[in-house]
Amino acid sequence: MRMQAAVICAALCLAGAANGEDDIFDRVKHGYAENQGVKVHYASLGEGPLVIMIHGFPDFWYSWRSQMAALSDQFTRVAMDLRGYNLSDKPAGNENYAMPHILGDVAAVIKANGAEKATVVGHDWGGAIAWQFAMHMPQMVERLVICNLPHPRGFMREMANNPEQQKNSAYARGFQKEGAEKGLSAEGLAGFVAKGDPAVTARYVEAFKQSDFTAMLAYYKVNYPREPYQEDSGPVIRIAVPVLVFHGLKDTALGAKALNDTWDWLDADLTLVTVPNANHWVHHDAPELVSKTMKFWLARDAK
């Protein structure tokens, strides 16, 4: 029998430049890590235990502005630009966006910040990368925080068996088609994710103009499952660190049913926070809830 996810209701707070978040853009320090000749840009702020933040599509390091501000100086907050995005390198060829290369980028950023391990935070593709990083490079993961990206096994189960999830993934099948990048623009992507805030929109337009749309969609072409969809029947690679998952229940791309049974693939505790009125960008839609919960959760084991 499947357990029902606990629902934590909260008033949503839209955050923008007016709330001081835009100051993050000018206060961060910029750096680069190198992985096999590919330079990966990151923005950092603060001092303390390392927290690596990985954005999804379409986004860039600035996605984490609320959380970077909220974690104050208790942590070193490092937000990456994935390869292909903004100030990171954009190697040609879909094969350069296969998951092993991306995991190497995350490892390089951790090492560039003088650490052997970190708390890894991810949303969307960043969440998929974070799950895989915890499974394949466990020695480098202190804790794991995921925003709106179910565990890979749960997602594949829904893709194989749930017609609603198959329908919701139609956009990804479109992105897998050759030439799909021709339908993208910096302004269109920025309007989609920035939600009307002029100052934030301007940041996104600038970042997307510096990005490579072909590279953005290479993540889907190389790493996203293709039909016919099948459940993952391979050995379970269990995750041994504490996991915090946020999921906006109005997500139209990733259904909440994929969250079921997540606990069966973990050896440490799972904290699941579902947000009824948040969409796919839960850390944008409910920044105060996500930031405060993350801060409390990260500090719980402090000595």
Q: Give catalytic residue positions.
A: 124, 220, 280
DSSP-derived letter for residue 167 is H
Cis amide bond preceding 138, omega within 30: no
Question: What is the CA 160 to chain-centroid distance, rounded?
Answer: 23
10 Å CB burial of residue 4 (0-12, 13-18, 19+) is exposed
One-letter amino acid at 57 equals F
User: Would you state the structure tokens that stand for residue 260, as one six-digit string?
Assistant: 């079921």
Cβ atoms of residues 278 and 248 within 8 Å: yes
Closest CA to 99 of 85, 83, 117: 83
Which spans in 39-141 are helix H?
Answer: 65-70, 99-112, 125-136
